[in-house]
Amino acid sequence: MSVQKQELQIFSDHTVLSKHLFEGASSNLMMVTDTAATNASWLVNALVETVTLGGPVSLNGNNSSSAEVFSVPVKVVVGSFLNSKSHFTSSFDRLKIPRNEYSVLEIAEDLVLKNVGKPVDVVIATILKQFQTALGERSLLVLEKPELLMALFKLSSDDLHLKLINPLLKLCSLLIVVTSVESFDNDFPENLGKNTVEFVRFTTSCFHKSFLVLSVRPLDTGKAKDVTGTLALTRGGALLDVSAVQPVENHYLFHNFKENTSLFYR
Amino acid sequence: MASTNNNPKVLLKRTFSLKEQASLILCTDTMAQSSRHVVEEFANNVSDEMPIVFVSFETPNKPKYARQFIDASGKTSKQLISVLQPYLPQPQEQAPKMHLVIIDTLNYILSEDLTQFISTIASPFVTILATYHQSIPTWRSPEFENYPAAIQLLQFIANTVIEVTPKTSIDEDDLEADLSRFVIPRNLNSHIFYVTLTNKRKSGRAIKNKFSINSKTHEYEYVIEKQEEHVEESPEMFEGLTTFNLNTSEKQKLAKDQVELPYLEAQSFNSGGAIVYEFEKDDDYDEEDPYEDPF
Amino acid sequence: MSFRKRCEVLSDGSGSKRNAAPPSPGGLQRELPSRNAPQRRLPAMNRGQIGGAVVGRVVSNAGSIHRDMNGLHIGGISSHTGQQIDGSTSLNLSHPGIRPSPATSQQTTSIGCADLDKLMGHMGFPLGCSLLIEEESTTDFNSVLSKVYASQGIVHNRVEGSRGFKDGNTHLIVLSLNHHLTKELPGVYKGSRKDIKKSKIAKEQSKVTVSNLLESQSTPTSSGQRSKDLKIAWRYGINDDATTSKSSREYDQSETYPDYNHQFDITSNLIPAPTSNEISFISPLLSVSSVLSQVVSTIKRHDSKLIRILLPNLLHPALYPPKMTQLHEIIPLLHGLRSILKNYKERCVLLSTISTSLFNNQPLFMAQIEQLFDGVINLEPFGQEMLQLLEKAYKSQPNKIQHGLVHIKKLPVFSERGEMHVAKSEWAFKNGRKKFEIEEWGIPVEDDEDTSKKDKESPARKAQPFQDEHQHSHTKNLDF
């Protein structure tokens, strides 16, 4: 059975990341949600590839058909609170993204050892500074698992948003927040614990700020032989502040096998 | 004024163009349908003369219609007020202009500080248009457990409440269940949606109307909530469904109505809760067989 | 056989045995000298090599052990020192407990449970990765796994003989207050009691001594007898080193990586108990910064060794104060450990266990903890009723009764790439004296008459690949 593979399309101009996003002065936020079972790393890779190599080369076992240089030079910065720099560089190396095309910040490295006992504001200021030096005009920032900061430093969701996410958003053209929605469930007991509330609050607040949500999750039916999960592109609570393009809602099935990801229409 | 009662659409228009006196217009939205489009409608309808101050917790982008843009991130509500104050009509001013203050979300302000915050900004010449995202949960400290939640407070003090809901075919409960798992169905947050406008009159009455809004064409449609009527079974209903005859004739209906249902006997309480069982002539009850227990 | 005799058998036998065991031609370099050893002519002993070495070490008679160790290590040092020098900062790739993952060719080490190694999809556990074993209900199967994990590290360290006590190749860091753990570590399984006895006799008889030779010449039947015994000896050997020989690939493994993993007998003790050079304890209750810096300094101190970190019974209410269950207490600890693990990813692994029944009502809390691990598996022991059902179903084969289900939540490396590896109720585990087994789960057929027959044909047969393969390899080998 051969199923037609599909190109990833996020914007109305048939692109994965439209150049229009980086042309104006506005800053927009896009959210990628994943679960413990389905890590969105392949999607992040594809997004980074789009900007650095000109297209999501690794998707669909592509023969780099659409690989032309991204029309606007965009700075790509990756910052993760979970994974170390080498984690990204080694996977970008495998995708043959030249190292000078992106920068990965060392944030997760010894995050605790370096910062334990310090006031939260100082910690955040240090992190912000790291980003400030790396980011520039027209940049794409991938921010992975910022919610970890809440658990690590007793930070509230609101503070995380107001003191870190907002300033970062201001610094770049497109901010992609990668966050986990594992264990988000309507089965929560009536009396929600504070931690739970804060995590749900963070993610929901993020939703209201994003113009698009890319949600990667397993099939509701569980494991399948030739389908790893679904990728759903749905509008978020905010409007894209770029008039030339609009985000497109799309649902895909994807199959991830031996570092290759293929997309199919749902 | 009374005429607006008769024409809800006019009332909505007057609300959007701020011709209805209100110091706080509250938009409540959820993940399913954001209030952004409603705010755009306001901006589209008010006169160009009106100064709009945009207080933002969520975006660093200044909307085109805003005269002033205030980035609220990293500010306490006191600091925010002091930044905001200069852009508001000053008390000593003679016949000041009407101002519109748009706050993109009130969720970041603690419910304890909320009324204070609103009342400091609000004045006869200021209309506050603020959104509250209902899907964002709040943890309530036990200290203030008796204090009303933010949404209750806001709905109480607002003159006008605009509840934004999606125009979708998905069942409300299913939608809620999906969203709480962060599964987002398609076609939400679209430019076509419903609003329920609650207008509190000076008389004390509150008028509630539902509209369908297309924010691209700026068309508003008054929606008359249809009562789900109980539909009587009619022979036409079964036509073309199957080849079976599903209809019941008058005679059959009568017979059906006369059937005495078994539990009716149990309800008479005459037998004191015992199980009603009567042997019939065909019953073959075997005392020895443990599985053949009629009870 | 007298006690004294056994001693002799061991002390003498070990030396000859080691020499008698050439690994496959592609074997490790340090084995080279032994290849030319004169005793090679005993083909049946081929694969008994580590078996012999290990047995010698862990036998309950402490006296013989030391002698045995001495006997063992001499060859080891001479052939190994050269390699040790050039790999002083990063891990020596000739470490006996390391092999490349067949799936990703990353270096992996054994958890100490062959079936769990297999479940990981890497035939082990990739270096630089962490595994969380969760256990539902109030049972304590996870402690078995954390103990074999610990023992495996110690055994790796001793593969090269008593050097392990001084230098060694592996160090275990236990983040626990329970120092008794050192005394609770299981020893290597030496086959069933019968097998042990037989093998020792066989060993003794196989020794080329004058009396033996005389004997074999004088009695015509004895040559047959001897080869038979050798077969037993061989069999004992396979029991020991090749507990993992299930598929042809693993069959290779036992040849190419003879000391990669071992089988442990949880009723026995690892003797001698680990020394401070082999194991360090760090209290997880200290402030996060001091726990982390102590871990780092221990890793630095044991330069060029494989570091196995064990964090058992995470948040166990008897060991951890309530305040540790606050997110901002436990997450920094785990995040910090993760950071260290990734900093030293060429030579570090981490295993942790947690009883999730205590945190069932906090799904997001558990999600936060799980997020910091590369692999997560969940043990769900059967309830009483299910066990009774299984007992009924496997009336004639009590050793087939599984004790619970194994759910996979995340697998190291694969899950990180985005592959979906959640497997609920696909695997079952059973814990025996000598082995923690994981096999495919199938609901047993209740008709006990048919069970044995059906087992052979039904897809559930796969569930017992070990036994089948085992028998298979036996017959095959007895031919030569």
Give the model confidence (pLDDT) of A14-56 as tens digits: 889 998 999 888 999 999 999 999 999 999 999 999 999 888 8
Q: Quick one: pLDDT at residue A102?
A: 93
Establish, for the pair of chains A and C, how many residue pairs have beta carbons separated by less than 8 Å: 130
CB contact under 8 A, C367 and A182: yes
| Domain spans of chain B, in order of start | 2-223
| Residue carrying the six token digits 């871990």 | C295
> Binning pLDDT at 50, 70 and 90, where does residue B293 land?
low
Please tell me which residue, C275 or B271, carries the higher pLDDT value.
Answer: C275
Q: Is residue A2 part of a domain?
A: no
pLDDT tens figures, A155-189: 999 999 999 999 999 999 999 999 999 888 755 55
Question: How sure is the predictor about C37, in pLDDT bands with cuts at 50, 70 and 90?
Answer: very low
Residue B196 token pair: 């329920």
Structural domain range at position A261: 19-265
What's the rounded mean pLDDT across residues A192-216? Answer: 91
% of chain A beyond a pLDDT of 70: 93
- What does the pLDDT read at residue C65? 38
Contacts A–B by Cβ distance under 8 A: 108
**The complex's ipTM?**
0.92
For the four alpha carbons of C6, C12, C15 and C17, in that order, the dihedral sign comes to: negative
Asked if C44 and C230 touch (Cβ cutoff 8 Å), the reply is yes
C249 found inside a domain: no
Q: Is A183 left (phi over 0), alpha (psi -120 to 50) or beta?
A: left
Q: Scanning every residue of chain A, which has its alpha carbon at the shortest distance from the alpha carbon of B29?
A: A237
The answer as to whether A165 is a domain residue is yes
Note whether C339 contacts A193, CB cutoff 8 Å: no
Query: Are residues C344 and C467 located together in one domain of the fold?
Result: yes
Task: Return the SS3 of A157.
Answer: helix
H or E element, residue A231: strand A229-235
Contacts of B40 in chain A (CB under 8 A): 239
Please indicate, yes or no, if residue C29 is contained in any of the structural domains.
Answer: yes
- Which positions 78-137 of A are in contact with B (Cβ < 8 Å)? none
CB < 8 Å to B58, chain A: 166, 208-209, 238
Contact C371 A111 (CB under 8 A): no
Element spanning B184, H or E = none
CATH superfamily ID and name for B2-223: P-loop containing nucleotide triphosphate hydrolases (3.40.50.300)
Determine the residue of chain A that is closest to C291 in CA distance.
A113
Kindly state whether residue A230 falls inside one of the protein's structural domains: yes
Q: Is residue A5 part of a domain?
A: no
CATH code, domain carrying A29: 3.40.50.300
The three-class DSSP label of residue A127 is: helix
Of B37, B57, B182, the CB nearest to A33: B182
pLDDT greater than 70 at residue C447 = no
- Using a CB-CB cut-off of 8 Å, the residues of chain C touching A216 are 418
Residues C296, C392, single domain; the answer is yes
CA angle A123/A143/A207 to nearest 5° reads 105
Decide if C247 is inside a domain.
no
Q: Which member of A116, A154, A228 has the closest CB to residue C420?
A: A228
Give the C-alpha separation, A221 to A253, whole Å.
13
Of residues C288, C366, C420, nearest to A116 (C-beta) = C288
Helix, strand and coil content of chain C, in percent to the nearest 5, comes to 50, 15, 35
| Cβ under 8 Å to B: A residues 247-266 | 249, 251
Q: Highest mean pLDDT: which of A13-17, B279-283, C256-260?
A: A13-17
Higher-confidence residue of C342 and C255: namely C342
Residues C179, C44 share a domain = no
Of A38, A110, A145, the CB nearest to C420: A38
My answer on whether C384 and C262 are in the same domain is yes
Average pLDDT of A62-77?
70
Q: What local confidence, expressed as pLDDT, does residue C293 receive?
A: 93
Residue ranges of alpha helices (H) inside chain B are 2-6, 8-16, 36-45, 77-84, 111-121, 150-157, 172-180, 250-258, 262-267
The mean pLDDT value of chain B amounts to 84
Angle value at C-alpha A100, between A95 and A102, nearest 5 degrees: 70
> Among C366, C370, C417, whose Cβ lies nearest the Cβ of A42?
C417
Cα separations in angstroms, B61 against A238, A239, C357: 11, 11, 47
Residue C248, domain member (yes or no)? no
Residue A189: inside a domain: yes
Q: Which amino acid is at B83?
A: V
Chain B nearest-CA distance from A234, in A, is 6
Q: What whole-number distance in Å separates Cα of residue C324 and Cα of residue C317?
A: 10
Least confident window among A232-246, C326-340, C391-405: C391-405
Top-confidence residue, C182 or C59 = C182
* Residue B247 pLDDT exceeds 80: no
Of B80, B213, B65, the C-alpha closest to A241 is: B65
Distance CA C166, CA C169 (A): 10
C170, C303: one domain: yes
pLDDT in tens, B157-212: 999 999 999 998 888 888 988 888 899 998 899 999 999 999 988 888 888 999 99
Note if the bond before C272 is cis, omega within 30 degrees. Answer: yes
Give the tens place of pLDDT for each residue, B4-31.
445 888 999 999 999 888 899 999 999 9
Per-residue pLDDT of C161-170, as tens digits, reads: 665 566 788 8
HSE-up (13 A, CA, CB side) for residue B181:
14
Helix (H) or strand (E) segment spanning residue C128: none
Name the most confidently modeled range: A200-204, B46-50, C457-461. A200-204
Please give, rounded to a whole number of angstroms, the shortest distance from the CA of B49 to a CA of chain A.
Answer: 24
- Smallest CA-to-CA distance from C123 within C257, C31, C305, C238 is with C257
Hey, is the C-beta of A192 within 8 angstroms of any chain C C-beta? no
Percent of chain C with pLDDT strictly greater than 70: 58
The model's confidence at residue C51, banded by pLDDT at 50, 70 and 90, is very low
Tell me which residue range forms the domain holding C200: 1-86+193-242
- What is the model's pTM? 0.77
Closest residue to B189, CB basis, from A26, A181, A235: A235
Domain total of chain A: 1
